[in-house]
Amino acid sequence: ADTALKTANSGYLTRRLVDVAQDVVVVEVDCGTENGVEMQPIVEGGDIIEPLAQRVLGRVLAEDVYPADSDQVLCPRGTLLDERWVAVLEENAIDRVLVRSPITCETRYGICGQCYGRDLARGSEVNIGEAVGVIAAQSIGEPGTQLTMRTFHIGGAASRAVAIDHIEVKSAGTVRLVNLKSVENSEGKLVAVSRSGELSLIDSHGRERERYKIPYGAMISAREGDEVKAGQVVANWDPHTHPVVAELAGRTSFQDFIEGVTISEEVDDVTGLTSSVVIDPKKRGSEGRDLRPTIRLFDEAGKPLSLPGTNQPAQNFLPAGAVINCRDGQDVQI
């Protein structure tokens, strides 16, 4: 009964999509727009999920394409990219092109043939009068009816994700660090201190082959511009802890550390060791709710240190549940 209801809902979705899109009909060959959408391969983790060839097949070029080492036009503007042209793009290591798109079409009512591209049913340029809006609506609705017949019950040990603790590149290339703020530790390794940093791998043609997110606190063993081999580990971290990294070497000073109010002593059941843990503000009394346990860094003369290039004090606010691994007044390294 449940599946039958879902099928009805799916059919209703298709009807609503058709209602919206039914007026989108091919009414002219070319609207003459200069605009388009830039296409490049979709890279996630180290894998190319969808290569450029697959994304642009059947589209029309919105601007001329040039090879990297020449001023001669490789594919002229207005070319319908069929299998032959797509192979030419791949041979010349083209990694981004501007193509016409229904999104940027300037036809007043309906759509033009150049912005739509290839008729997927016939493999040729789309004909004037083709009801492409209805085709699009039905194309979205059709798998919806199939999905209702499937039950998504995946469970058990096999489906549990394995904690990833390192980045191993799949191919050789040059390392490029993107939006990555890092500090160098005493061993000469870089430690990531930004949360949105990424590491990408560029091949000999200048194309991006792989891209990875670098978590906060990861140890990076490759530098910007380094040549790496396939299978080389370029970063590693502990997946089960979220560290608080000292960005400068200095002497620690604890602020708002009050035993029993903001900090509690907890004994580990396994090791028997005692550690100081930051109490969750929601579980504190009224006197400790506005306090923020912080570790500040000072130099040997007792002056507060600032982060390089800024007036921002070198300090770390500790989140609830943080385990403190240093003592007040201890000298710490990066």
Q: Residue ranges of the domains in the chain?
A: 25-130, 166-236, 250-332
If phi over 0 gives left and psi between -120 and 50 gives alpha, with beta otherwise, what is residue 188?
left
* pLDDT reported for residue 3: 59
For the structural domain made of 166-236, what CATH number should be given?
Answer: 2.40.50.100
- 7 in helix, strand or coil? helix
Per-residue pLDDT of the chain (334 residues; tens, 9 = 90+): 455 557 778 888 899 999 999 999 999 999 999 999 999 888 776 677 888 899 999 999 999 998 877 888 899 999 999 999 999 998 888 888 999 999 999 999 999 999 999 998 998 999 999 999 999 999 988 887 777 666 544 444 444 456 788 888 888 889 999 888 888 887 888 889 888 888 988 888 777 888 888 988 899 988 888 899 988 899 999 888 888 888 888 888 888 888 888 888 888 778 878 888 888 888 887 777 788 888 888 888 888 888 877 788 888 888 888 888 888 888 888 7
Can you give the pLDDT at residue 156? 47
β 111-112/26-28 pair status:
parallel
CATH class of 250-332: mainly beta
Residue 5, pLDDT score = 53
Q: How far is CA 30 from CA 38, 55, 80, 116, in A?
A: 19, 21, 13, 10
Helix or strand (DSSP H, E) at 112: strand 111-112
Spell out a b/e string for 209-229, using b for 16 or more CB atoms within 10 Å of the CB, else e. Answer: bbbbebbbbbbbbbeeeeebe
Q: Do domains 166-236 and 250-332 have the same CATH topology?
A: yes
Q: Give the H/E segment covering residue 93.
A: none
Instruction: Estimate to the nearest angstrom the gap between the alpha carbon of 73 and the chain centroid.
Output: 33
Q: Residue 324 belongs to what H/E stretch?
A: strand 323-324
Rounded Cα distance between 104 and 33, Å, is: 8
pTM, two decimals, is 0.58
Q: How many helices (H) and strands (E) does the chain have?
A: 5, 24
